[in-house]
Structure 1
Amino acid sequence: MGINADFDDQYSHHHYQRVEIPPPKPFLKTLKSNVKETLFPDDPFRKFKNQPFSKKISLGFKYFVPILDWAPRYTLQLFKADIIAGITIASLAVPQGISYAGLASLPPVIGLYSSFVPPLIYAMLGSSKHLAIGNVAVPSLLISAMLGKVVNPHENPKLYLQLVFTATFFAGVFQASLGFLRLGFIVDFLSHATILGFMSGAATVVCLQQLKGILGLLHFTHQTDIVSVMTSIFTQIHQWRWESGVLGCCFLFFLLLTRYFSKMKPKFFWISAMAPLTSVILGSVLVYFTHAEKNGVQVIGHLKKGINPPSYSELAFSSQYLAIAIKTGVVTSIIALAEGIAVGRSFAIIENYDIDGNKEMIAFGLMNIVGSCTSCYLTTGPFSRTAVNYNAGCKTTVSNIVMSIAVMITLLLLTPLFHYTPLVVLSSIIISAMLGIIDYNSAIQLWKVDKYDFFVCISSYIGVVFGSVEVGLIVAVAMSLLRILLFVARPKTFVLGKIPNSMTYRNIEQYSTASSVPGVIIIHIDSPIYFANASYLRERISRWIDEEEEKQRTSTEIELQYVILDMSAVGNIDTSGISMLEEVKRNADRRCLKVLLANPGGEVMKKLDKSNYIDKIGKEWIYLTIGEAVNACNYIIHNCKFQSKRIDSSVTPDDSV
């Protein structure tokens, strides 16, 4: 390496484009830019620039209340499509609303209330054209599991109902706060594998809980784990009602058959959509004429007539259980947000339009705040109802308004007709809907593609099924955070080799034709360099150098002389990362190796310059591309060999003596 130093100045005159350091920016300007990119990546206020004040006010109303933007362009043709879709999803909303209210240990009419007011709020504020609003199974189960531990819904129904309304209120506040503060990216920390495992586990638990209705049991455990549920079932064998079991199995078979037929023949989606309401009607007629309620078949009973009574006075802000109500609200709001936004985005992608995640959070939050004051509990955008809405040809959120009006008519006129609706039919409806959520095909795909994601999914599923819904949620979040930490703390590094007959360098483990460059090791760092991974990267680079020195020592005449760090994927670096690079340089100096950098980004170059690392390594050893860095190394290596030969040939025997 002593000879190399003689050639540094000579090689520095070769004409290569050097990596430039971006001009410095004031700290406050940089901070403002970073905050804007984090909280306002879509730049929602760009339309407000250079507009008169009155225009800004108009645009502001249209931004926060989307219906004001598209309503003037609404046509009769769109209304025809929306009214059909609205009536279709209303036929699904009524039985589902009643069923899921029972799952939350609430009076059935609360489920109907929840399909009346919240859809009206979302129709005005939501940005998704296809999302159908209503109560859903998993948050309903969570509410029952969490609040049912402190207040028995059967022994103290009034206090329990107050806590449910309070939890719904705080769920809405939390959701709206995330939207107003532009913190929607927090929901993205729940990975697809995590949500898949959690939802499948919760669906399994919901199905097990419905065995109470299928078997006609009067008493059942409040625990949700599979051991407690199965113990409760098999310790009451003598109380099983065969009438209820037969009726439940028949309706479940009917629901699954209609869903299978609609899946095979998408044109007949309405058959599956109408099946739950058909089941309710048939079950009610059957019970009415056979008096099955006197033979062990439980029925809904009396449903209160009329639209939503106000419930703002029922919010239990001074209750001793306020803390658990807040906790329940936050937990259920996260699950509701994850499901609602994911469903909305899925159908927006199909129809090629964008939805604003922060607007959706504000819409969800406000509809739940208003809902908690109008006798509703937590609502979001369920997949099953949204899929029916989409297949029915809905064009705008007016379909939610139509559904809401249909539910209002039901509340005003038709609630007495549900008196004889058997609970076993509602259990069959819930089981049928939950079986569609258990997505084993996606779990199999995870196993094929990413074993760790499969492990995350299964861990979340087991946590829900064998622990509780809360345990499963904690496991799901913990596994998601662990995955992020593993990505950050253990980034990928690999050695690059040259593809024959090209100037392209690729991972030698991926490309069999890629060959290492004699005397040079090229290490690609596939992550920003932070305090969390700096120590690992230092050790990993050192090991790569050790392995390459051993390999080149045994396979070539040229020993390792240069270490090229490919920085193209290093988007940022902190002071710990810079210290790591300095240690790598000191380690390389002790081994008589030279460190080169290839393609560092602008942010990295600014920090390397301010820390004086560039002066330590030398500007002439930083290159735009790997190819230029390799050429620099080869030039010096070959000239060193040539110079060495000239020195050897000029030595005479007398000189050697």
Structure 2
Amino acid sequence: MHSLQTETLSMPMEQQQQLNIEDGSRTQRAEWVLNSPEPPGLCHEIVSSIKSAVFPNGSKHSSSSTKQTRSTAAGVVSFLHGLFPILTWGRNYKATKFRNDLMAGLTLASLSIPQSIGYATLANLEPQYGLYTSVVPPLIYALMGSSREIAIGPVAVVSLLLSSMIQNVVDPVANAVAYRKLVLTVTFFAGTFQFIFGLFRLGFLVDFLSHAAIVGFMGGAAIVIGLQQLKGLLGISHFPTKTDVVSVLEAVFRSLHHQWYPLNFVLGCSFLIFILFTRFIGRRNKKLFWLPAIAPLISVVLSTAIVFLTKADEHGVKIVKHIKRGLNPISAHELQFSGQHVGQAAKIGLVSAIVALTEAIAVGRSFASIRGYHLDGNKEMVAMGFMNIAGSLTSCYVATGSFSRTAVNFSAGCETVVSNIVMAIAVLISLELLTRLLYFTPIAILASIILSALPGLIDIPEAYHIWKVDKMDFLACAGAFFGVLFGSVEIGLVAAVTISFAKIILNSIRPSVEGLGKLPGTNIFCDINQYPMAIKTPGILIVRINSGLLCFANANFVRERIMKRVTEKDEEGKENSKERTQAVILDMSTVMNIDTSGICALQEVYNKLVSHNIHLAVANPRWQVIHKLKLAKVVDKIGRDWIFFSVGEAVDACSSKMVNFSSC
């Protein structure tokens, strides 16, 4: 576009020279924007993501043929160190650290053994499958994981998720073998999805479950899990497959009118009180952290002894009975990749993968921040995926990081993931030697152990904090909570993701278009509504698009808002010709990318402004934006001399071109 025709005012020669120098510098900086190199394409981004996942530490390959072998070896070493972090920190591992890890691992095992049995029953599997899941996945994670504190194994939420979704496909009672095979297949798919997420840097998919949604989902799941334990706590034989509150409470009230055995309730509540009391003592006295950790194991031992000595199982107390002893059996032959349920297994695997990753990364990062180190989410996904794939081949179901056990591991003074190795070996020994002793373990005790772990999943203060800070976030929290509570786990997840998506879409399609002014005494331009002291420039309208992406979803909205601001400014300047809009400066510093719809919207804005004899200037367009504007010939249409490095330079240039406002 042609420059504005203005009258040149007489001024001293030195001042004229200074202005010429400033114009030259401004033009040079504008050329930096216009002549920036071509940004990387999609293929380059994908290759770079894979390369950074495979070679996280980077690898420098020399072009010299004499160094080719050495470079290849360095690349292999870098790959192995990235894939197996134990190769890096293992070289500096000392005996003092092992002593702490040994104590932490044994403490962790005392909690993991009873919890694993309980979570297996929650997943509608035989008790030994919970123990299997506490052996292989922790060992794999110890080799590939980067979190020092996380405790790997079965968890309540994932166990509930699997049981509630898979039992809709296969009945766990009528066809236990088919149910188990489907669980293992789901575990394989979950691990595969997790591995792919990590390899291709798709960690953002997990972020669709926002923090608020996770708080609500965990709280609702905790209540549902607690209600499920009424079956074991009351000794109820017939329990609904539905997990919603109404169905469960109806079943409980119906069963109370029939024969039930109060001894189960007395035994379970007694040890639940004992476990909660030890936890209270442990919180009051940090030196007794080990007491609440071993309380579940003590409860199992004492209750088993009581049932055995009193023969309470003959008087209605339900017991675990047979637990298969021995190492994890190979289960590769049980995976089903053909048949009518493969699609459903993949779908459940995807949901399980996301929920498991969300919990693991959340707990891992929280404890990593306490210890002062960074946790790479993508590397964690690769480790989690590989351990669940290996787990599906060795009779394990979906494993992830446990909040309660990780807290115990941290309090016990763990130094590295060696505590997971110690825990896995301890569980392995119990599988070989102690399963017969668990025959008389009451189901009510397992229910009480699960119930004791649930308060940590219900975070009422955080829910109140979310309500106080962001009402839209609280809506996602409440949607997930009530969806799980009165619908199902799947409905809760769908509600959480839907509301989170709605929030993202709402913010994307209706971005703010701010009017900017200059703060007194500075060269900073800010929103005039947030900073009322900001000074408007006569004859120039400065607007900023507050959106990372100018695309089909928001292009029309942005165009209308820009033109509305132009109209409003013209209405204000009707009485004063100097206030009439002569130039619009579009600050695009926050727009990271643009699509063809966004480009069309900019062209429409330009055409409308030209029809009103108003000039359009673009300030600080980002890399992808200026590249696409050049490809679309928009830069040529606007004029290269109307593209600027910053808003301040755009204002100075427009002001210098409008010496006589009345003549413009």
User: What TM-score do you get using the length of structure 2 for normalisation?
Assistant: 0.90
Question: 3-state SS of the aligned residue for 2:543?
Answer: strand
TM-superposed CA distance for 1:297, in Å, is 2.3
Query: What residue number does 1:191 align with?
Result: 210
TM-superposed CA distance for 1:223, in Å, is 0.1
> Are positions 1:608 and 2:619 aligned together?
no
Distance 1:9 1:251, change over 3 A: farther
Query: What residue number does 2:596 align with?
Result: 575
Counterpart of 1:327 in structure 2: which amino acid? K
Alpha-carbon distance in structure 2 between the residues aligned to 1:212 and 1:621? 73
1:397-476 map, 5 Å: 397-476=417-496
TM-superposed CA distance for 1:224, in Å, is 0.7
Contact 2:56–2:78, Cα closer than 8 Å, also in 1: no
Question: 3-state SS of the aligned residue for 1:524?
Answer: strand
Q: CA RMSD in A?
A: 2.8
Q: Which runs of 5+ in 1 are unaligned?
A: 645-657
Query: What residue number does 2:661 align with?
Result: 640
Q: Share of identical aligned residues, percent?
A: 46
User: Which of 550, 562, 571 lines up with 1:550 in the alignment?
Assistant: 571
Counterpart of 2:134 in structure 1: which amino acid? S
> Are positions 1:91 and 2:107 aligned together?
no
Query: What residue number does 1:350 align with?
Result: 370
TM-superposed CA distance for 1:551, in Å, is 3.5
User: Which of 61, 79, 94 lines up with 1:49 in the alignment?
Assistant: 61
1:296-335 map, 5 Å: 296-335=316-355
1:176-255 map, 5 Å: 176-239=195-258, 240-255=260-275
1:513-592 map, 5 Å: 513-527=533-547, 528-553=549-574, 558-592=579-613
TM-superposed CA distance for 1:358, in Å, is 3.0
TM-superposed CA distance for 1:317, in Å, is 3.6
Query: What residue number does 2:620 align with?
Result: 599
TM-superposed CA distance for 1:404, in Å, is 1.0
Counterpart of 1:383 in structure 2: which amino acid? F
Query: What residue number does 1:5 align with?
Result: 5
Counterpart of 1:47 in structure 2: which amino acid? S
Name which of structure 1's ranges 527-536 and 128-137 shifts more when overlaid on structure 2: 527-536
Q: Which runs of 5+ in 2 are unaligned?
A: 11-15, 63-69
Distance 1:537 1:78, change over 3 A: same
Contact 2:304–2:438, Cα closer than 8 Å, also in 1: yes
Question: 3-state SS of the aligned residue for 2:150?
Answer: coil
> Are positions 1:35 and 2:35 aligned together?
no
Counterpart of 1:122 in structure 2: which amino acid? Y
TM-superposed CA distance for 1:410, in Å, is 0.9
Contact 1:118–1:379, Cα closer than 8 Å, also in 2: yes
User: Which of 158, 167, 178 lines up with 1:159 in the alignment?
Assistant: 178
Question: 3-state SS of the aligned residue for 1:350?
Answer: helix
Distance 1:40 1:565, change over 3 A: farther
Query: What residue number does 1:108 align with?
Result: 127
TM-superposed CA distance for 1:153, in Å, is 1.5
Query: What residue number does 1:15 align with?
Result: 22
Contact 1:39–1:183, Cα closer than 8 Å, also in 2: no
Query: What residue number does 1:138 align with?
Result: 157
TM-superposed CA distance for 1:384, in Å, is 1.3
Alpha-carbon distance in structure 2 between the residues aligned to 1:305 and 1:615? 77
Distance 1:216 1:23, change over 3 A: same
Distance 1:181 1:640, change over 3 A: closer
Alpha-carbon distance in structure 1 between the residues aligned to 2:179 and 2:525? 65
Contact 2:569–2:580, Cα closer than 8 Å, also in 1: no
The aligned length equals: 641
TM-superposed CA distance for 1:381, in Å, is 1.3
Contact 2:6–2:659, Cα closer than 8 Å, also in 1: no
Alpha-carbon distance in structure 2 between the residues aligned to 1:543 and 1:87? 68
Query: What residue number does 1:653 align with?
Result: none
Counterpart of 1:509 in structure 2: which amino acid? N
Name which of structure 1's ranges 408-417 and 166-175 shifts more when overlaid on structure 2: 166-175
Give per-residue Cα distances to partners, 1:409-429, cap 9 Å, x unaligned.
111111122222221121111
TM-superposed CA distance for 1:24, in Å, is 6.3
Counterpart of 2:45 in structure 1: which amino acid? N
TM-superposed CA distance for 1:397, in Å, is 1.5
Distance 1:618 1:264, change over 3 A: farther
Name which of structure 1's ranges 357-366 and 523-532 shifts more when overlaid on structure 2: 357-366
Contact 2:102–2:422, Cα closer than 8 Å, also in 1: yes
TM-superposed CA distance for 1:179, in Å, is 2.9
Alpha-carbon distance in structure 2 between the residues aligned to 1:368 and 1:332? 11
TM-superposed CA distance for 1:256, in Å, is 2.6
Alpha-carbon distance in structure 1 between the residues aligned to 2:486 and 2:404? 26
Counterpart of 1:586 in structure 2: which amino acid? N
Alpha-carbon distance in structure 2 between the residues aligned to 1:606 and 1:247? 71
TM-superposed CA distance for 1:529, in Å, is 1.6
Counterpart of 2:460 in structure 1: which amino acid? Y
Distance 1:37 1:23, change over 3 A: farther
Contact 1:48–1:59, Cα closer than 8 Å, also in 2: no
TM-superposed CA distance for 1:558, in Å, is 2.6
1:272-311 map, 5 Å: 272-311=292-331
Contact 1:529–1:577, Cα closer than 8 Å, also in 2: yes
Contact 1:518–1:552, Cα closer than 8 Å, also in 2: no
Counterpart of 1:203 in structure 2: which amino acid? A
Query: What residue number does 2:144 align with?
Result: 125
> Are positions 1:497 and 2:507 aligned together?
no
Question: 3-state SS of the aligned residue for 2:238?
Answer: coil
Contact 1:3–1:640, Cα closer than 8 Å, also in 2: no
Distance 1:166 1:515, change over 3 A: same
Counterpart of 2:59 in structure 1: which amino acid? K
Distance 1:636 1:414, change over 3 A: same
> Are positions 1:257 and 2:269 aligned together?
no
Question: 3-state SS of the aligned residue for 1:496?
Answer: strand
Query: What residue number does 1:365 align with?
Result: 385
> Are positions 1:149 and 2:168 aligned together?
yes
Give per-residue Cα distances to partners, 1:433-483, cap 9 Å, x unaligned.
122111122211111221111111111222111111111122222223333
TM-superposed CA distance for 1:219, in Å, is 0.9
Alpha-carbon distance in structure 2 between the residues aligned to 1:9 and 1:125? 72
Alpha-carbon distance in structure 2 between the residues aligned to 1:128 and 1:574? 39
Give per-residue Cα distances to partners, 1:318-375, cap 9 Å, x unaligned.
4543333333222212211221122222222222333333332232222222222222
Query: What residue number does 2:13 align with?
Result: none
TM-superposed CA distance for 1:40, in Å, is 5.3
Query: What residue number does 1:654 align with?
Result: none
Query: What residue number does 2:80 align with?
Result: 61
Contact 2:6–2:660, Cα closer than 8 Å, also in 1: no
Query: What residue number does 2:411 align with?
Result: 391
Contact 2:57–2:82, Cα closer than 8 Å, also in 1: no
Distance 1:273 1:523, change over 3 A: same
Give per-residue Cα distances to partners, 1:621-653, cap 9 Å, x unaligned.
333332333334444555335x79xxxxxxxxx
Alpha-carbon distance in structure 2 between the residues aligned to 1:326 and 1:3? 61
Contact 2:56–2:79, Cα closer than 8 Å, also in 1: no
Question: 3-state SS of the aligned residue for 2:529?
Answer: coil
Query: What residue number does 1:651 align with?
Result: none
Name which of structure 1's ranges 405-414 and 581-590 shifts more when overlaid on structure 2: 581-590
Alpha-carbon distance in structure 2 between the residues aligned to 1:222 and 1:592? 71
Question: 3-state SS of the aligned residue for 2:618?
Answer: strand
Query: What residue number does 2:67 align with?
Result: none
Question: 3-state SS of the aligned residue for 2:257?
Answer: helix
Contact 1:284–1:422, Cα closer than 8 Å, also in 2: yes
Counterpart of 2:491 in structure 1: which amino acid? V
Alpha-carbon distance in structure 2 between the residues aligned to 1:286 and 1:556? 95
